[in-house]
């Protein structure tokens, strides 16, 4: 919940000065919903930077005051949607079952879902990291055919490392990403290697390159460090 339309326009002007086109990477920005049209307009001449929405409702329309459907987001210019972000799960009580409904809604509206999974500190300390991540992954993708699974992104967000200044080591991230990759192989045997798995959890300009260099880490999902245009451009260039 940062950057209204006015601040977002200034952010984009600054960010695009620091970040020329790169053909070898994919850059996504997820603004607040009220800011989405301003960001889409600000990136009109930069198709290399795509736009997503932070949250959707699973119904296509109806009496759900304050909610935004996947179709509305797509019509406003979004191409991606976060689903099951740690804050949606642990601040707003989003359930595994709701993530499945939201993934399905994304596919109906031609949005690409980024399904977020990750364990809390007490689950990590109890040795439950893999079981929690696999439960969330399987629930979110339940009912999705292999052809749909092949067109998603997965983000591993260890909850204990988000906004705490702590982050999983590259080895920690690789270990969990390998578990995710193995599950994706079972769900989409022909395309699993092409599904991006991102790491999110206190990513910053100091650790981004090291994390991105770890095996099975295909990208990063950046939170607070993305609010500074120059700093975020450094992460994007890593």
Burial class (CB in 10 A: 0-12, 13-18, 19+), 42: buried
Burial class (CB in 10 A: 0-12, 13-18, 19+), 151: middle
| 157 annotated active-site | yes
Neighbour count for residue 126 (Cβ, 10 Å): 12
| 3 annotated active-site | no
Q: Running DSSP on this structure, what letter comes out for residue 66? A: T
Q: Which of 94, 157, 177, 183 is catalytic?
A: 157
**Residue 88: helix, strand or coil by DSSP?**
helix
Per-residue burial over 67-92, b if 16 or more Cβ lie within 10 Å, else e, is ebbbbbbbeebbebbbbbbbbbbeee
Q: Which of 85, 87, 119, 177 is catalytic?
A: 85
Identify which of 124, 118, 113 has the alpha carbon closest to the alpha carbon of residue 136.
Answer: 118
Torsion of CA 131, 111, 233, 31, to 10 degrees: -100
Query: Measured between alpha carbons, how far is residue 189 from residues 40, 52, 195, 203 in Å?
Result: 35, 27, 11, 30
Task: Report the catalytic residues.
Answer: 85, 157
């Amino acid at each position: 919940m940062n950057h209204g339309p006015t601040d977002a326009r200034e952010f984009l002007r600054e960010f695009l000065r620091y970040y020329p086109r790169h053909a070898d990477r994919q850059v996504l920005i997820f603004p607040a919903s009220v800011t989405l049209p301003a960001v889409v307009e600000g990136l009109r001449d930069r198709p290399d930077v795509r736009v997503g929405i932070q949250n959707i409702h699973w119904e296509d329309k109806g009496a759900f005051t304050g909610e935004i459907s996947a179709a509305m987001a797509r019509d406003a210019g979004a191409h991606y949607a976060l689903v099951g972000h740690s804050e949606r799960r642990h601040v707003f009580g989003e359930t595994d079952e709701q993530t499945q409904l939201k993934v399905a809604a994304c596919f109906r509206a031609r949005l690409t879902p980024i399904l977020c999974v990750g364990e809390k500190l007490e689950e990590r300390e109890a040795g439950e990291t893999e079981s929690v991540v696999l439960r969330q992954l399987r629930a979110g993708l339940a009912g999705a055919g292999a052809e749909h699974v092949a067109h998603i992104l997965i983000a591993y967000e260890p909850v204990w490392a988000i906004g705490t200044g702590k982050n999983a080591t590259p080895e920690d991230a690789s270990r969990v990403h390998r578990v995710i990759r193995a599950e994706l192989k079972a769900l989409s045997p022909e395309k699993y290697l092409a599904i991006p798995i991102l790491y999110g959890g206190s990513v910053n300009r100091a650790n981004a390159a090291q994390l991105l260099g770890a095996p099975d880490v295909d990208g990063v999902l950046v939170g607070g460090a993305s609010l500074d245009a120059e700093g975020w451009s450094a992460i994007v260039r890593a």
